[in-house]
Amino acid sequence: MASSSSQNIMEWEEELLSCLFSLSVLIQDSISVLSDGASTTANGPSTLDGLEIYLRSSQDMWMNSVYNLRIVLFESLAGLFEDGASKMNYVTDLVQVLGTLSLEARQGVEKCLLNLLNSLGDNKKLVVDDCWTPDSLLSSMHGH
């Protein structure tokens, strides 16, 4: 039986993965809208601006809580995209699938997502790129 401490860590890790995947989906869909010129969002190409405004205005709520950040990001998915509910389900399904993998695999996915998200920004000091890429992750995965 898992201890209370290890259960809390697993819940925290699930919340963190949900946040990372939510950000990835938000950014990917926003980039797709901008490059396709198609308007699949409620606010058109200003989705990232809308996300930034929403995150800044709710910073006091999520700043010290990964759980609250996940709630804010899910609200952003719901509010910024017409198919927001399906995007939230997609993120939840991805996290559930990752829950069946080894700790090493989950942490590898976290590192890959952090490195990918960091590569989109101007601040290269947020994450130390330890060469984790999707290819290196897949080549290093082992079963339970």
Neighbours of 53 (CB within 10 A): 11
Tens digit of each residue's pLDDT (9 = 90 or more) over 39-49: 444 444 467 88
Assess contact for 117 and 27: CB atoms under 8 A: yes
- Kind and range of the H or E run holding 68: helix 66-80
Give the global pTM: 0.73
The 10 Å CB-count burial string (b at 16+, else e) for 97-107 is ebeebeeebbe
Tens digit of each residue's pLDDT (9 = 90 or more) over 69-120: 999 999 888 888 888 899 999 999 999 998 888 888 888 888 888 888 877 7
